[in-house]
Amino acid sequence: MCPNCRAFITSSDRVCPYCEVQLGPRAVELRSAETLQNFIPRAYATSVLILVINVAVYVAMLIVSVKFSNKAASGALGDVWQGFSGGVLILFGGKYAPYIYQYHQWWRIVTAGFLHGSLLHIAMNMWVMFDLVAEVEQFYGTSRLVIIYVVSSAAGFLLSLWWAPATVSIGASAACFGLIGGMMAIGLTRDTPLARAIRSYYRRWALYGIVFSFMPFMHIDIAAHVGGLIGGFAVGFLAGLPGAAKSPCERAWQAVAGICVIATAYCFLQELRFFNVALSQ
């Protein structure tokens, strides 16, 4: 029962479908997050999974960078702070126009969103991502969250490919902006007190992020941020908030989320194939 309007709802609803009040997490979710709540904003299963994938890819990049570096091991470990070389980023699937156009490696549009160039880079993105993923999942549910994450990240690097084809681009920040865009879709398409609060809050997030993107010393891919924001907003606008858990509409969005997961796995398999071929030459 909704604590605000007292309407009957399902246990999987994150937002009341009648009064649009955000519902708190269930007790079982609070227990699962209890061990981490003092260290990170909100730790849900989806947040942890996204963190694990990004960190695992970063660790693999670090291992390869150290193993194949011509420098001493201690010098190679310095790349943790200074950033990986462009060759390592390309080897692991960074957005790189010559390979995309010449060899049709379009899977780089997806894999680039899971790569990070330095320890500071991944630490900043994952901290922001944890907070955003928790908020978006509360409103949209897991299926729509997955779609927003994958589509907005790909949209960001597609715009980057057109805007700045000469640069190697990576990072989960495109997906971060996509999550912001998804929340802005709620705020801009409704006129309730909750929607107005969301609109005000995430409009500041977007503004601060765009301003931060223009700082020259940060070497930020502005196009990826803008594309991610647009992609996330588009998905949020089309998807809307979740309805009845077993309705045909919800099953359709679950199927789309499954397609996004399969497509991401396929892109990583293609990247692994490229990786093995590149190292064998």
Cβ atoms within 10 Å of 163's Cβ, excluding its own: 15
Distance CA 23, CA 40 (A): 21
pLDDT surpasses 50 at 39 = no
Distance CA 260, CA 244 (A): 22
Distance CA 180, CA 236 (A): 10
Position 14 in a domain: no
Position 153 in a domain: yes
Position 276 in a domain: yes
Provide the whole-model pTM: 0.82
52 or 42: which carries more pLDDT confidence? 52
Q: What is the CA radius of gyration of the chain?
A: 20
Helix, strand, coil share of the chain (percent; to 5):
70, 0, 30
Q: Which of 25, 16, 253, 5 is nearest to 146 (CA)?
A: 253
pLDDT surpasses 90 at 100 = yes
Share of the chain above pLDDT 90, in %: 48
Range of the domain at 73: 45-280
Give the mean pLDDT of 261-278.
96
206 or 152: which carries more pLDDT confidence? 152
pLDDT surpasses 80 at 27 = no
Position 35 in a domain: no
As for how many domains the chain has, the answer is 1
Give the mean pLDDT of 187-199.
86
Position 24 in a domain: no
Position 18 in a domain: no
Distance CA 116, CA 132 (A): 18
How many helices (H) does the chain have, and how many strands (E)? 12, 0
- Return the pLDDT at 1: 74
Q: Three-state SS for 22?
A: strand
- Return the pLDDT at 25: 53
Of the ranges 80-84, 248-252, 258-262, which is most confident? 258-262
Give the mean pLDDT of 107-116.
97
Alpha carbon 264 to chain centroid, angstroms: 12
54, 57, 59, 62 alpha-carbon torsion, rounded to 10°: -130
Position 16 in a domain: no
Q: How far is CA 130 from CA 5, 124, 265, in A?
A: 30, 10, 22
Contact between residue 135 and residue 206 where contact means Cβ atoms under 8 Å apart? no
146 or 245: which carries more pLDDT confidence? 146
- Lowest mean pLDDT across 17-31, 90-104, 128-142, 213-227: 17-31
- Return the pLDDT at 78: 41
- 42 pLDDT tier (thresholds 50, 70, 90): low
N residues, the chain:
281
Distance CA 213, CA 221 (A): 7
pLDDT surpasses 80 at 217 = no
263 or 79: which carries more pLDDT confidence? 263
Q: Domain containing 173 — which CATH number?
A: 1.20.1540.10
- Return the pLDDT at 31: 41
Position 25 in a domain: no
- 29 pLDDT tier (thresholds 50, 70, 90): very low
